[in-house]
Structure 1
């Protein structure tokens, strides 16, 4: 049965009573042999199970009918499930053997020593079920070259040939000397940023205001001083204004800033 096929519902008739649930300790294969008798209708596996549990008297089982249905089952199954058909052949043979022993008269001396033939069936069925469960377990385990396949791969070995340039020792010496001379010609320059003082810039502004009545703020620093000169000049005029030494004038926002001596 493939994985996509649905499992058919279980149904059996035992002495006129319908049975719709498989016993927990019984395994019935998907293509089980179904037998139809007067007192039983269902898989042969279940019939053997009930005989083992002594729920059905084996003397009431017509072996001729089971044999005929088994032969018909063989024709239907053909060769696709012959291992299952062989299992049922063994079961049918066991039933026939046990029933024949049950029908034979028992001598008085043998009553105490002879074993019930149904007990032999129970033992053989237990061993058979153990082997069947073990076979199912082994079949569920992944097999090499059936479920898993190994890959044969041999990496290609590429031999690399190292080639070195033909250079004379004297040429290497000259090249090394040229590198040393070039290193000696390199001059390292260290640039130090000029430190601007707010106090010195305040004195510079007061000096300019002594020479001019009005000084434009942008004239207090140079482009070379960059942002640092702008910040120092701004801090200087704010400090002078706080000390009431200069007056800052601006007509509107973003207009030029003028300074006058207070």
Structure 2
């Protein structure tokens, strides 16, 4: 296969329909589904289609500070000749691409040239006899203030930022899903007590005896009964076989323990059985 007239790569052979035949079954691209085996000769790529910026500066002071720190210049004794030369070289590069962006950099370049010119001229004697101020003093002050603000901004940027480094946790609670048990009232205790009395009458004997009962003793019996138990039903704390007197003393003992905060009396819902447990006391 012969090369073309320009000395470039040979053109692929054409088939009967005038379309290029597949060479090694490799196409450089596809256009509307059709394979392209060589780049078009009239393909135009703008010169600024791809630009790479190795350094990004926020303004003229940022560029000056970069040049000073890069070459380890003493900021209090800036060699303006070398600095101005490098600065103008950078301005000339950005002026070719963006004249509007280069305008503020040109203003700083004019200030550098003015300062250098003032340094070349003999200083004017001051009226009070003191030494004249260094023409670079104002520029040095601005550079130092700018560097301090830049370091402070970098420090702030390192702090954790909401939405970038962490997210705020949001917890939604539906009050309708919270199960709240009804409180046990005196009326509920009275009804439970009346139920105990009704059950006690089923075991009533006609034996008349005299028995001295101690409320404190029955308080201890109740506490021992509840020891090691999570919940005990209210009715299970009463011994209905020992008569009404024992039931009354046991009930008074329960009331005294509840008054002293040693018992918790709970109910899962209205009209549900009443349960008793030892009160929880944190260590």
TM-score (norm 2): 0.34
- Which structure features the higher share of helix residues? 1
Structure with bigger gyration radius: 1
